[in-house]
Amino acid sequence: MKKQFFLISIIVVVVWIGLLLFNLNFLWMAILIVPLLWMGIADVLQKKHAIKHNFPVLGRLRYFMEVIRPKIYQYFIESDTNGTPFNRLQRSVVYQRSKNETDTQPFGTQLDVYDLGYEFVNHSMKAVHFDQIEENPRTKIGSSQCTQPYFASMFNISAMSFGSLSKTAILALNEGAKLGGFYHNTGEGGLSPYHLEKGGDVVWNIGTGYFSCRTPEGRFSIEEFTKRAILPQVKMIEIKFSQGAKPGHGGILPKAKVTDEIAQIRLVTKGADILSPPTHSAFSTPRELMQFVRLLREKSGGKPIGIKLCVGRKYEFISLCKAMIAENTYLDFITVDGGEGGTGAAPPEFSDHVGMPLRDALAFVHDTLKGFDLKKEIKIIASGKIISGFDIVRALSIGADVCNSARGMMFALGCIQALECNRNTCPTGIATQDPNLYNGLDVNLKSHRVSRYHHETVKNALELIAASGLSHPDEVNRWVVCRRIDANNIETFRETYPELTAGCLLSEESIPEKWMKDCKKATADKF
């Protein structure tokens, strides 16, 4: 094609010059000819892309089609139910509820109710009247060792950092939390002024990089922590072990998003990707973690201290439970992030193939805590593709006490699932640090949409609970949700995830055989 390009170029130029000799009015053709010639010559001279080198000008169409392919697919090809990570039906529910539009659907479900894995609520013939249920029930988070417990909404904003999200997105989320009476998790990127400006309740997430509470060398600073932990808006402290998007990998903020302001807030230097180590330096064993928890609880004035993790090796979590008993120190909450979580930038190998999915992880964490008789002290927070009332009820039925949502809240802000979160080119101004983009996000408008989405989602979750014949989220159990396991059989989550007897893991004689290997391997002295 290179020979053809040069041959055609020569012919076109010769013809054009001939036309100019005849009439100078043909000079306008330079607008077309010169750029095409320049692009073609540039394509031939470059060596980076073989297609452009071998097919000058025409080869550029391949890259153009690659750019527009996701948009064409989303808007013209995918059905209402087959889009990923969230399909059109799921996104539309969030948009409609956040805008206070009609969110009912006509003509029945579009889901295949005989499909393997289809789930539904086990409703009761004696449903509870919705007006008999508390409108916005709260869950107390705080063990017997916590002196400042927090009463959380059943649905909250999951961890998303300033840096990953724009300042206008953070402001809108926090103001939405303030309006709706729910909490806003900071993400591991540190406690920024934008998390505090609007007055919403904040859960301070502290990751392995110790952003906003680190020394210049990157280690944990108790002085920096104390200054921020005692702020009245900081309601809880969450120690992050891992997240569903990339368990065991640490955090990544591309340098394109690292502004002077972000570097100052995180207490880091500008000019490179900000990487969080895969493990903590403040502790290295379960016992040391419990000692760290005691320190944070003391310096924060007795606020709830918890951890966030995506479950991996089961015996390591069992080691954590043994350490709580050995050190007589309880976590106040555990946030379980499913392997399907995904607001963070991550290598595809980690997003696709690392981390236990949320439902399995929830059941395991709940049953382990119950087996060690710790569940009465610790609340479980579920996070991972939770955006609807049914998602909340399903998580509660397996073992969660409270639910968080990240991408659901992003949809409420106006996210269109453009999948450009890691490029600093988010068209809606949510996941970018480009002021030309994030200044288009109206904080006041979007904060009300976040609040409405929260209100309507909680309302629908409570209506499902009432339809099940229950009057409070605390009553939801594994009998409530059913799943199709094959063409002719359905089972409840109670059958899928059989519960342990309280305290059965405390004595070797009562440990179920299935749990014996992990329990024997687990020790409070190492993960």
For residue 85, say if its preceding peptide bond is cis, omega within 30 degrees of 0.
Answer: yes
Q: Is a pLDDT exceeding 80 seen at residue 439? A: yes
Same domain, 299 and 407: yes
Asked, for residue 196, whether it belongs to a domain, the answer is: yes
What is the total count of domains within the chain? 2
Asked, for residue 95, whether it belongs to a domain, the answer is: no
Asked, for residue 35, whether it belongs to a domain, the answer is: yes
Same domain, 142 and 64: no
Asked, for residue 44, whether it belongs to a domain, the answer is: yes
Same domain, 377 and 245: yes
pLDDT digits (tens, 9 = 90+) for 332-368: 999 999 988 666 667 778 878 888 999 999 999 999 9
Q: Is a pLDDT exceeding 80 seen at residue 39? A: yes
The answer to whether the Cα torsion of 146, 152, 154, 157 is positive or negative is negative
C-alpha angle with apex 253: 438 to 334, nearest 5 degrees?
Answer: 100
Q: Which residues contact 10 (CB under 8 A, 6 or more apart)?
A: none
Q: Is a pLDDT exceeding 70 seen at residue 145? A: yes
Same domain, 34 and 150: no
The average pLDDT across 136-156 equals 97
Model confidence at 320, in pLDDT bands (50, 70, 90)? very high
Report pLDDT for 222.
97
Instruction: Please state, in angstroms and as integers, the Cα–Cα distance from residue 76 to each residue in 64, 68, 69, 80, 259, following that order.
Output: 17, 12, 10, 11, 37
Report pLDDT for 321.
98
Residue finishing a domain among 47, 75, 103: 75
Asked, for residue 119, whether it belongs to a domain, the answer is: no
Query: Domain with 314 in it: what CATH number?
Result: 3.20.20.70
The answer to whether the Cα torsion of 454, 459, 465, 470 is positive or negative is positive
**For 44-58, 302-316, 383-397, which range has the lowest pLDDT when averaged over its residues?**
44-58
Asked, for residue 48, whether it belongs to a domain, the answer is: yes
**For 109-118, 270-279, 405-414, which range has the lowest pLDDT when averaged over its residues?**
270-279
Residue finishing a domain among 75, 96, 112: 75
Terminal Cα-to-Cα distance of the chain (whole angstroms): 61
Same domain, 158 and 227: yes
Residue 177: CB atoms within 10 A of its CB come to 27
Same domain, 150 and 65: no
Report pLDDT for 3.
86
Token code pair at residue 401 = 């006490």
HEC assignment per residue over 187-208: CCCCCCHHHHCCCCEEEEEECC
The average pLDDT across 115-138 equals 92
Tell me the percentage of the chain whose pLDDT exceeds 90: 69
Token code pair at residue 417 = 């699932």
Asked, for residue 94, whether it belongs to a domain, the answer is: no
Among residues 521, 526, 527, 524, the alpha carbon closest in space to that of 328 is found at 524
Same domain, 58 and 165: no
Chain-centroid distance, C-alpha 422: 14
Same domain, 196 and 281: yes
Output 67 or 207, whichever has higher pLDDT: 207
Same domain, 24 and 141: no
Output 463 or 273, whichever has higher pLDDT: 463
* Average pLDDT taken over every residue of the chain: 92
Same domain, 198 and 319: yes
Asked, for residue 498, whether it belongs to a domain, the answer is: yes
Among residues 304, 380, 334, 376, the alpha carbon closest in space to that of 149 is found at 304
Report pLDDT for 342.
66
Residue finishing a domain among 75, 93, 121: 75
Q: Is a pLDDT exceeding 90 seen at residue 99? A: yes
pLDDT digits (tens, 9 = 90+) for 360-378: 999 999 999 999 999 999 9
Q: Strand 489-492 vs strand 481-486: parallel, antiparallel, or unpaired?
A: antiparallel
Same domain, 155 and 65: no
Same domain, 70 and 136: no
The average pLDDT across 273-301 equals 93
Model confidence at 20, in pLDDT bands (50, 70, 90)? confident
Model confidence at 270, in pLDDT bands (50, 70, 90)? confident
Report pLDDT for 168.
97
Range of the domain at 338: 130-521
Report pLDDT for 421.
85
Q: Is a pLDDT exceeding 80 seen at residue 219? A: yes
Report pLDDT for 98.
96
Report pLDDT for 345.
66
